Structure 1
Amino acid sequence: MSATPERHHYPHVHPLPTRWQDNDGLRAVRVAGSSVEYQLALFKVGEAQPCAAGRMVQVFVERATGQPASLPTALQGALVALQG
């Protein structure tokens, strides 16, 4: 099984800094049978608004067939913990 990013969109909000905060955000918005949708936010040190924010959909597929593959139970549990 492999993970293949299917689509992505990363709007540029502010100039990107060289130092990041410790609380940059990643969460799983949607965990489905064979895919996960993530949200990401990067924050400049001392700033409340993100410098960059985006979403990504990751689809898990069987390498041999190219067909969607079910997420392993342990991975699915870990991703559910990332949901906000």
Structure 2
Amino acid sequence: MLPFAWLLIQTLAFAAKSSYVVYLGGHSHGIRLSSVDLDAVTESHYDFLGSFLGSHEHAREAMFYSFTRHINGFAANLDDEVAAEIGILK
């Protein structure tokens, strides 16, 4: 019975999350981008999200896309409470 209970808890935890796009405005980098610039943008997204989730690792688990070129933002699976804390309106 224990594996079933664990699966049920995991299913409920997953069901409580929704996908959100977090828009952070424009980028400060120039037109000519290196892979270092793009990596720095993604790392800044992990840092930002990690400040709400408690760790860089939790941010890596939640975020599934980082917008690095035209807009500054990311897409992540978040609890509604965390999204509200960030300031995302539903």
TM-score by length of structure 1 reads 0.27
**Going by fraction, where is strand more abundant, 1 or 2?**
1
Q: Structure 1 or 2: larger helix share? A: 2
